[in-house]
Structure 1
């Protein structure tokens, strides 16, 4: 049995920083560094969660303990105290992060002991499955395109459709790929869009509401972007009344941070909305997202389970974006994807005629309505 490769903190930090750059997909990073994609998610999350500690207490560095002091400490307090210290440092983190932070070369605690203390199965620590194959990436691209045409296709119908096209595939594989892409059919059924455990669900506020002016209601959603090697995720924030895209961000993982960045940009440029509507995904039910909105006095609205029509305007945006931009390119890097999406969003906002707006571009209508509702205020124009 080959010995498991041990990674230094410096190596983990390097990989996490590369993931934060967003230039490469998780699959590409895993191939370049010779590690499993799960580790990249864990290390990136650990870096984001621990970054604030660098600036604690005025940015002063915590006192370091040299090797001799560590040996003396272990000799004095014994294995039990070391275990308590290990737990105090690790237990506050999420389960996936804790799994990625097990220390194979710990001077006192064995891997088995660490797994026991952290409630992690020892076998799961050693398990290193392969990343997504080229066949799976091609299937994900095909599933994504078909889902835009038939968003009511569940796992069974999608499996039948792929089989009719000649693909040898079972429901288990389709279910896993659709979950990985974040796709859920629109029909009503139990637990279709379950948030993270403990996250609060907010009521849907837009039913029967007449949205008559800009910034009265915004909508946000996340979609999957196929790349030549792997995939990325895109979040966009849209003004419900004028369909203008206010802000967007691309990420190679699904942490809530890139959604918060898009929200902060939209608020900085256009001010807060009265209502923010999203689905029940874990990014939008997270404390970071909801607390940011509540502190601004924004009313939080969330779609019903399986209610694709509750956020119909963003769903239509995804369809238009993918057919007019994403599917016409085979982007290699995150920079190329950002440049392509940025160019298309600028075209969509400022030059593309919109059928719901009498053939006018969304940005034109947005600023016209702003001027009508705020004639005495000088508002800076932002594309």
Structure 2
């Protein structure tokens, strides 16, 4: 027969009944037979409930239950702490990382999958899901590593655009997964600048509306390995983002500016506006008169306000970040070759985020124009 469980009230009443029987001169075994318990149970009850009333017995039972709950809670917290300590010290950002860590924790601590998933925040369906690897995974990973090595300052979104142009059927999520799995570093985003407004609320920036509407040009300075400085004259079309020319020389004067613009005007046509800062090569009387005779309007930014010429400043930053800061130019000729090579790659290969991750002048388009 199953053992009968007595409540605290029943135990107190039976002990009182046994006490009355014992006061009549009977023995303990005889009293135990009358209250229908064994001698061992009687002595155990006396040890636990002797001298207590019913209210005190209830309180004792409640305290025992609370003690059991507290012990279980402490054990659970200790186990959770052990699981987190056994897991990776950093954040587990992807399901695949959690999947590996949960398997490791289960082996080392001998806990259930349910408990490990609960502590580490992984759905059990996700934990049990088998990762499907396509046949071209290894080839795609190798190609992503090659592109990341070649274009060290490109992020996974730009790498995705290059792969899609090349014919790969991938999206940025898959490329990002492989990117993070291989430990490739994503370049930090540049801080966004607010729009530029005058006190009267009007925007002073003339925005390009079509091809050859507004051109921009600016100078940059770098040095060869022997410490001698050289300058670059960068000219871009603000609407198409195409880099029209990068003139490299030790010194560039106002006449050199006119010569470069003359070649571009013959090859491409005359723009309506040219935007620049207030450098002496741009504000020279010869340059301004020559442009005025051709009907080209000049847009000079406010002194000390390079953000007003944002298109060319953005281009200069890319040139500096992706080439000038990464190369050591031993001679001026080497600088000319590498900078021109980068310019062609910028126009024909490099995806531009503002153009829907397409290059400003794809190579196929240039081939059609020249044929």
The interval holding the TM-score normalised by the smaller chain is 0.3 to 0.5
TM-score by length of 1: 0.41
TM-score by length of 2: 0.42
